[in-house]
Amino acid sequence: IYAFGDSYTDTGNAQLLDSSKNLKKGQEKLNNGWLLIDFVRDALNISSLPPYKSVNANFSSGVNFAMAGATVFTEEFLSQHKINSTLMWKDGYHSFQTQIEWYNKFVSDIACKGKNNESCKADMENSLFWVGEIGIDDYVRALRSKVSLRWIKDMAMAHTSRLLATLLDSGAKYIVVEGLPPLGCYPFAKSSRHFVKDDMNCNAKINRVTKAHNHDLQDMLEGFRRRKGANVSISYADYFDAYKVITGNLNKFGFEDAFKACCGHHRNKILNFSFKILCGMSGAETCRDPDSYIHWDGIHLTEAMYRQLSEFFLH
């Protein structure tokens, strides 16, 4: 497996690069346990999927290139538009282009070292390429800025297209691309003082952009399918609908609350979320039973939620 994405998929790169303010020593992920990619590799009987920045790791079963805090924008753009590029991260900056560069270096220096082009592509054809969410960190960052959410969507599409083209050119044959969940239902989005609610009782504006993002993403994937033909499998993981089904049937899936964060600050008792005191910061508290919560810190999901999502995507 070769995995890409942001903090929803990162299993250690941010921690190894010491770029997260909210990761405690030894903590690899921004939630309370497994991520979706962990359930995916477990279902395929792969014991581990080491992050690319691991030293002396065994990459025989794949690599995780995902990076928490990855952005679709340049550092200059974030600074120019006064977007907080360090929300849950330190000063380290990594765009999604970094992951493409990491992947190309891994292929040339490790995976295909000493092999000809044909042999290299044959190896890649037997791998699963998992592309996690692209753009979430930017939507979160821009929530309190004047940057157009649709502009973020367009940039996310450009990065996704570039990544897919790189993977396909290297010989990738089996690719899964995750859509975005309804971000307007996340505590960070519902914490806005004034917002129009949609039929899910969520932030309508953000969910409209999320739907547009997913619509454009599916159109892009269909374009790649038409160009590459039947020899390549490019699947779409419908995060939005899976999330909607689960939150609409809380008792069935073992959850108590659709919107409240397990780890956060009680300033907002309904959401347990505050941008000023995020999970991991002084003053934040953690719930007693994370398995009954969908949201971990108001931005990321709990292991229990990822477990349920994996059932939708893998079965």
Report the run of H or E that residue 293 belongs to, with start and end. Answer: strand 293-295
List domains and CATH numbers for the chain.
2-185+200-248 (3.40.50.1110)
Please report, rounded to a whole number, the percentage of residues in the chain having pLDDT higher than 70. 92
Per-residue pLDDT, 21:
47
Residues sharing a CB contact under 8 Å with residue 129, sequence separation 6 or more, in sequence order: 1, 2, 3, 4, 167, 172, 174, 175, 176
Asked about 10 being catalytic, the answer comes back as no
Per the residue annotation, which of 170, 295, 297, 310 is the catalytic one?
297
Are 53 and 99 in contact by the 8 Å Cβ rule? The answer is: no
H-only helix segments in the chain = 13-16, 36-43, 75-80, 96-106, 117-125, 136-142, 149-169, 187-190, 204-228, 239-247, 250-253, 303-314
Residue 289 pLDDT exceeds 70 = yes
Asked about 7 being catalytic, the answer comes back as yes
Mean pLDDT computed over every residue of the chain: 90
pLDDT, tens digit, for every residue of 116-167? Answer: 988 898 889 999 999 999 998 888 877 767 788 888 899 999 999 999 999 9
Asked about 274 being catalytic, the answer comes back as no
Per the residue annotation, which of 94, 159, 265, 300 is the catalytic one?
300
Per-residue pLDDT, 86:
52
Per-residue pLDDT, 10:
94
Q: What is the pTM of this model?
A: 0.92
Highest mean pLDDT among 28-32, 59-63, 74-78: 59-63
Per the residue annotation, which of 6, 7, 127, 137 is the catalytic one?
7
Residue 75 pLDDT exceeds 50 = yes
In angstroms, how far is CA 205 from the centroid of its own chain? 20
Residues sharing a CB contact under 8 Å with residue 114, sequence separation 6 or more, in sequence order: none
- Cα separation, 29 vs 270, whole angstroms: 25
Residue 35 pLDDT exceeds 90 = yes
